[in-house]
Structures are given as structure tokens and as C-alpha cells.
Structure 1
Amino acid sequence: MRSFTELRSIDAIDLFTKDNRLSLLFVSRPGCSVCHDLLPQVQTLMKNYPKIQLGYINADDVETIAGHFSIFTVPVILVCVEGKEIIREARIVHMDLFKEKLDKLYKNVAG
């Protein structure tokens, strides 16, 4: 299972998305049961996309994340290409649809 890099500030998040051509940010909170159920599913899925770098953000630790990315609920998955958000999934994520979006993006960008 692939591991996530924990990002603890907006500066670290911005640097992570800009330094990695393809990145996925998983925004969560410790008391969120949906978050805890979704994270292992995302980790398993990401085995298929080795060129996507994985970042994890605890919204309780990075309180300004909500305003920075206009996040109103958790969990949120943001997929970025060269620092620009391309895919956003929030709260209830349909993994089959998310995989379809990732497949298209990965084929076109990671080629």
C-alpha cells in the first residue's frame, strides 16, 4: 500500500503540488468516519498510478485549508497537475467514477 506525505501548512501543500507534476491531496479530520473508511480505498487504488504523489492533510492541523481550497466538508480528494486542481471529489466518493476520471487524466498526462 502506498503511503501519503503528511503536509502541515499551506506553504508545504503549495510546494508539494507545484514540485510534483501529478499530485493527490487527501483532506481529512480525525473524527470523520467517512474519511477513515475512504483513505484505505484510495491508497489501494493509487497502486495503479505510481506517478501521482500522495499528500495527506489533517484539516484540524491546517485550519486555513478550508479557505485556501474552498473546502466545506471532509473528506476531500484533490488531484492536481502542475499545481492546478483538475479533479475534486468530496464527502461521498464513488470509487468507480473516481477511477474513470483518474484513468483519463493519467493516460493524458503521465502517458
Structure 2
Amino acid sequence: MNQLNQTTLEEARNGIEQNRLYFLYLYGTNCSVCHALLPQVEEVLEDFPQIIRKKLNVHEIPEAAGAFSVFTIPVLLLYVEGKESIREARFVNIDSLRSSINRIVSMLD
């Protein structure tokens, strides 16, 4: 399984600018929802190898919460050509997330 790798705020900003498709998973250290959702999100992203994917811990890098307007965690963000195209937070419907990503990726092909 292709797991999400840790990133820094600076790397995330550069990744959003430099990649056509960039997915960011914002989570917290002791967040049970975050840790339960992560493997499901990784599984969805398996179907989309063209998406660069990273995760960022907002407890370790608190300024990331402000940079990405995070008020609750987890937050799932998909950027397309530098623009936020998907934002899901807290309780995420995995099937809905998959179909949203699929729709966006299909339009770009």
C-alpha cells in the first residue's frame, strides 16, 4: 500500500504549486478519527497514482492549521493545478470522496 508520507508546511505549499494533483491529509497526534480514517483514505488514493499525496500533523506544526483554515481534524484537501478542489473534514464519506476524486481526475484526462 502506498502510504502518505509526512511533509512540512513549506513542502506542502511547494507541492501544491508544483504538482497538477496534490492531496494533503491534515491530522492530529491523539485524534482517533484521524488515525481510523487514514488507512481508508490511503486505500482510495491507491486508485489514483497520478496524485501526489502527503500528510501533515497540525499538532506538530500548528501554523499549518492557520495556513489551511483548519478548524477541526482530520481535513482532506485535494488541489488541482494549485486550486483547492475538494475539502472534507471530520466525518468523511469514503465512497463520496472516491467519486469526487474520480470525477476530477476523469475531467483532466
TM superposition score normalised by structure 1: 0.93
Q: Deviations over 1:24-61 (max 9, x none)?
A: 10000110000011000011111110100101100012
Where do 4+ consecutive residues of structure 1 move more than 2 Å?
A: none
The residue aligned with 2:38 is: 39
Q: CA deviation at 1:102?
A: 0.7
The residue aligned with 1:5 is: 5
Taking the aligned partners of 1:5 and 1:81, their CA distance within structure 2 comes to 19
Letter in 2 for 1:47: E
Q: Which runs of 5+ in 1 are unaligned?
A: none
Matched residue SS, 1:99: helix
Letter in 1 for 2:83: K
The residue aligned with 1:71 is: 70
Q: CA deviation at 1:3?
A: 2.0
Taking the aligned partners of 2:43 and 2:99, their CA distance within structure 1 comes to 15
Aligned residues: 109
The residue aligned with 2:18 is: 19
Q: Which runs of 5+ in 2 are unaligned?
A: none
Taking the aligned partners of 1:16 and 1:5, their CA distance within structure 2 comes to 13
Task: Among all aligned residue pairs of Structure 1 and Structure 2, give the percentage whose two residues are the same amino acid.
Answer: 36
Q: CA contact under 8 A between 1:14 and 1:83: conserved in structure 2?
A: no
Q: CA deviation at 1:11?
A: 1.8
TM superposition score normalised by structure 2: 0.95
